[in-house]
Copies of this chain bind each other. A is one copy, B any other.
Amino acid sequence: MFSCWLSQLCRGLSTPTRRTTQLIWSSASRSLVLSSQRRIPELSSFVARTNTCGELRSSHLGQEVTLCGWIQFRRQNIFLVLRDFHGLVQVVIPQDEPAASVKKILCEAPMESVVQVSGTVISRPPGQKNPKMPTGEIEIKVKTAKLLNSCKKLPFEIKDFMKKTEALRLQYRYLDLRSVQMQYNLRLRSQMVMKMREYLCNLHGFVDVETPTLFKRTPGGAKEFVIPSREPGKFYSLPQSPQQFKQLLMVGGLDRYFQVARCYRDEGSRPDRQPEFTQIDIEMSFVDQTGVQSLIEGLLQYSWPSDKGPVVVPFPSMPFAEALASYGTDKPDTRFGMKIVDISDMFRNTEVGFLQDALSKPQGTVKAICIRKGAKYLKRKDIESIRKFAADHFNEEVLPIFLKTNENWNSPVAKFIMEEQGSGLVKLLETQEEDVVLLTAGEHKRACSLMGKLRLECADLLEARGVVLRDPALFSFLWVVDFPLFLPKEENPQELESAHHPFTAPHPSDIHLLYTEPHKVRSQHYDLVLNGNEIGGGSIRIHNSELQHYVLATVLKEDVKLLSHLLQALDYGAPPHGGIALGLDRLMCLVTGAPSIRDVIAFPKSFRGHDLMSNAPDSIPPEELKPYHIQVSWPTDAETEKSSSNHPCRSES
C-alpha cells in the first residue's frame, strides 16, 4: 500500500525509457549490482548505518538495524516510507508515550527530510505484505530517531520529475538525481565502465594513460575551445580527442593504451550535443582492422548489462557503399528492412518528366523503398508530411511518388507508369497488397540520402500507429567499413578533405591510387553503429612518416609545421598501430533507453551550453582577465542582431 510511487511507475512503463525504470528498485536492479562483480559490495561500510533501506528482507527479521534516508511518504502518522539509493522500506512510527520524542521527530519532519532511525526488522502483519515492493514483507519497529537535516518545500516532488520541463530538472539537478531513472542511469554507467576497465586492463593488459587536455590547437580545429595563458597572445586549446597523444604513446612503446577520456567540442547550440563529452579511447600497436574489431566486440560483450540480453559476436560488417545504397546513411538502423532499391533500369524509357530529367544526367538514378502495409497505417497527412519533408530538406529535383498496389496503381503519375514497370516494381520490391512504395530520382548519393531519411521518417510514423518495427529490447550492432579516405570539400569540390581525420591509413588495396586518383582511395576507417546511431569510430593509422607527409602536404594542403612533432615521431621507429573511440554518452543513452544523452550525464549542459544550476558560463570582471592579456570585444548592435538571427532565440533545454 505504500508502494504508490513504485506502482505508479509500473503503470507508466509503456515506453522503452520507462521500461527500464522498474528495474532499479526491484530485484532485477539488485542482480545488476551483483552480477557485474565478483563479490557483493559492502554498501554500509564506514558509515552511520548498518544496512541500506533497500536490502532488507525476511532474512533480516529480528535484526537490530540503523538506517539513514529520506522521508518519502507518511501515512496518518503511523507509517513512513524511508528511501535511500538502494530502495524503500516501511517504518512503523511508535505510538506509545515513552517514545513520544521519536514520534514527534518522525511526524514533524517535512517530506524529503533526512533521518536516521534505529530499530528492529519485524514481519508485516498478515494481509499487509506488499509483493510489489522488494522490502514488502518486513517493516522497521523504530526505537530511536534522529533528524539529520530538515527539508524545505521542494520546487517539485521527486516522483514527478519526469513530468517537469527539462529546464527545471537541470536547475534543480541535485533533486532530479534522486529520481529512480537518474540513479539507474548513473549507476549503470559506472558499472559498465568498470567492466570495460576490467576487460581492458585486467584481461588484456591495456595501460590506462591520462593525456593532457591543455593542448595546442590542431590544424583546422575550428571547434576547439581556447584557453588564454599568462603569456600574451598564447593560447591552449581543449582537444576534441586524444588522437595525437594516443598515437605518440604507441611511438613511445606503450603498446596498448586506453583512457576514459574527456573531450571537448565547441559546436555552439546543437541539440543532443554536449560541449564536453566522454569517450572510451583505445589504441594498440601491431594491430589490424580485424584485431580492433574483435577487441571491441569482446569489450561490449563483457561489459554489457546482463539484463539487456546477450551480445552476439562477431558483429556484421557492411561496406560504406552498401550502407549508402541500401540505407541512405553511414549509420544504418538494421533492426528493420525497408531497404532502398535502385530501380533506374526499369525507368530508362519512362514518360514521367522528373524521372526522365534525372536519368538523363550522368549520375541520375531512381530509388524506391517499400512500406509494408503502408496503405493501412499511413494517413493522407502522413504522406503530405513525407512530401513536405522531402521538399523542405532536399528541395532540388527530388519528389516522392506514391504507388498503391493491389493491382491498381494509385499515384499522381500512375498513368505514366506502364504495366511493365508496375509489375517490375512488384517483383523487385516484393510488394504485397496494402504496401506503399516511395520513389525518388536524382544523383545517387543525394537520392539515397533522401530515401534513407524517409525510411526512418516512415518507421516513426508506422510506430506512432502502433506497428512494432524496431524492438526496443533489441541491440543491433553493425560495423561500417571501407569508407572513402577523402571527400571533396563542400565549399570547393576540386579540393579534398579527410573523410575522418588526416591520420587514417589508406586501404592496402588502394594505396597505389593515392598518387593518381586519391578520391578513389578507400580508408582503413571503421565505424561502429548501434540501432542506427554511430557509437564509435576508429582506424588503422598511417605509421610511415613520408606517407603522412604526402597526405598532409600534397593531398590535403595542410600546414605541416603544426604537426611537425607527429611527423618527426613517425620517423623514429613508430610501430604500425590503430585504434578506436567509443562515445560513452551515446552508448549509455542507448543502453538505458534514455530519451537524451543529458539523462546519462550527472550535470549536463543545456543545448545552448549553459549549466542551468550554477549559471555557467558567467561574466568575469575585466581585472580578472588581465593576467590572461585578453579583453572582451563587445559586439556592435548590428553584429548582435546578425548573431541572434543565426541562433534564433529558443527557450532553454
**A residues lining the B interface (CB < 8 Å):** 33, 37-39, 41-43, 45-49, 68, 70, 83-85, 112-114, 116, 148-152, 154, 172-178, 182-183, 186-187, 189-191, 193-194, 197, 201-205, 207-217, 222, 225-238, 244-245, 248-249, 251-256, 262, 264, 266, 268, 275-276, 278, 284-288, 291-292, 294-295, 543-544, 565, 569-576, 601-603, 605, 609, 611, 613-620, 624-626, 628-635, 640
Contact A631 B628 (CB under 8 A): no
Contact A207 B186 (CB under 8 A): yes
Contact A234 B112 (CB under 8 A): no
Q: Quick one: closest B residue to A191, CB to CB? A: B201
Contact B624 A226 (CB under 8 A): yes
B residues less than 8 Å from A83 (CB atoms): 253
Contact B572 A255 (CB under 8 A): no
B residues less than 8 Å from A154 (CB atoms): 572
B residues less than 8 Å from A228 (CB atoms): 226, 228, 630
Expressed in whole angstroms, the minimum distance between the Cβ of A290 and any Cβ of chain B is 8
Contact of A602 with B48 at beta-carbon distance under 8 Å, contacts A85-B254, A216-B617 already known: no
B residues less than 8 Å from A232 (CB atoms): 632-635, 640
Contact B632 A202 (CB under 8 A): no
How far, in whole Å, are A37 and B230 apart by their CA atoms in the complex? 44
Q: Quick one: closest B residue to A202, CB to CB? A: B37
9 A-B pairs with CB atoms under 8 Å apart are: A42-B204, A46-B287, A178-B252, A213-B262, A214-B616, A214-B617, A232-B634, A249-B602, A631-B631
Contact of A214 with B252 at beta-carbon distance under 8 Å, contacts A174-B572, A573-B151, A633-B630 already known: no
Q: Which 7 A-B pairs have the closest CB atoms?
A: A177-B252, A216-B616, A41-B205, A151-B573, A46-B291, A234-B617, A174-B251
Contact of A625 with B152 at beta-carbon distance under 8 Å, contacts A177-B252, A212-B603, A234-B619 already known: no
Q: Quick one: closest B residue to A236, CB to CB? A: B617
Q: Among A193, A210, A576, find the residue whose CB has the most chain B CB atoms closer than 10 A.
A: A210
B residues less than 8 Å from A632 (CB atoms): 232-233, 629-630
Contact B573 A149 (CB under 8 A): yes
Contact A226 B174 (CB under 8 A): no
Contact B288 A48 (CB under 8 A): yes
B residues less than 8 Å from A268 (CB atoms): 230
B residues less than 8 Å from A602 (CB atoms): 209-211, 245, 249, 252
Contact A611 B194 (CB under 8 A): no
How far, in whole Å, are A613 and B252 apart by their CA atoms in the complex? 13
How far, in whole Å, are A182 and B251 apart by their CA atoms in the complex? 13
Contact A194 B201 (CB under 8 A): yes
How far, in whole Å, are A640 and B630 apart by their CA atoms in the complex? 15
Contact B285 A186 (CB under 8 A): no
Contact of A47 with B291 at beta-carbon distance under 8 Å, contacts A38-B202, A245-B602 already known: yes
How far, in whole Å, are A42 and B256 apart by their CA atoms in the complex? 11
Contact of A177 with B543 at beta-carbon distance under 8 Å, contacts A46-B287, A190-B209, A210-B262 already known: no
How far, in whole Å, are A624 and B218 apart by their CA atoms in the complex? 12
Contact B619 A235 (CB under 8 A): yes
Q: Quick one: closest B residue to A543, CB to CB? A: B149
Beyond the given A190-B209, A216-B614, A233-B620, could you list 8 further A-B residue pairs with CB under 8 A, ordered by the A residue number? A43-B256, A45-B295, A148-B286, A173-B248, A174-B252, A176-B252, A212-B605, A629-B635
How far, in whole Å, are A221 and B531 apart by their CA atoms in the complex? 44
B residues less than 8 Å from A231 (CB atoms): 617
B residues less than 8 Å from A187 (CB atoms): 207
Expressed in whole angstroms, the minimum distance between the Cβ of A258 and any Cβ of chain B is 9
Contact B285 A235 (CB under 8 A): no
Contact of A114 with B210 at beta-carbon distance under 8 Å, contacts A194-B202, A565-B614 already known: no
Contact A286 B49 (CB under 8 A): yes
Contact of A39 with B202 at beta-carbon distance under 8 Å, contacts A173-B248, A209-B186, A624-B226 already known: yes
Expressed in whole angstroms, the minimum distance between the Cβ of A270 and any Cβ of chain B is 12
B residues less than 8 Å from A227 (CB atoms): 225-227, 238, 617
How far, in whole Å, are A418 and B84 apart by their CA atoms in the complex? 70
Contact B249 A177 (CB under 8 A): yes
Contact B213 A190 (CB under 8 A): no
Expressed in whole angstroms, the minimum distance between the Cβ of A524 and any Cβ of chain B is 15
Contact B253 A70 (CB under 8 A): yes
Contact of A46 with B292 at beta-carbon distance under 8 Å, contacts A235-B618, A624-B226 already known: yes
Contact B633 A70 (CB under 8 A): no
- From B182, B214, B217, A620 is in contact (CB under 8 Å) with B217
Expressed in whole angstroms, the minimum distance between the Cβ of A135 and any Cβ of chain B is 17
Contact A112 B619 (CB under 8 A): no
B residues less than 8 Å from A114 (CB atoms): 573-576
B residues less than 8 Å from A33 (CB atoms): 205
Contact A544 B575 (CB under 8 A): no
Q: Quick one: closest B residue to A256, CB to CB? A: B43
Contact A205 B42 (CB under 8 A): yes
Contact A565 B285 (CB under 8 A): no
Contact of A41 with B216 at beta-carbon distance under 8 Å, contacts A233-B634, A236-B616, A252-B178 already known: no
Contact A183 B38 (CB under 8 A): no
Contact B253 A614 (CB under 8 A): no
B residues less than 8 Å from A222 (CB atoms): 624
Contact A68 B575 (CB under 8 A): yes
Contact of A284 with B46 at beta-carbon distance under 8 Å, contacts A152-B572, A154-B572, A174-B252 already known: yes
Contact A572 B603 (CB under 8 A): no
Contact B616 A237 (CB under 8 A): yes
Contact of A616 with B215 at beta-carbon distance under 8 Å, contacts A152-B571, A177-B252, A232-B635 already known: yes
How far, in whole Å, are A569 and B291 apart by their CA atoms in the complex? 48
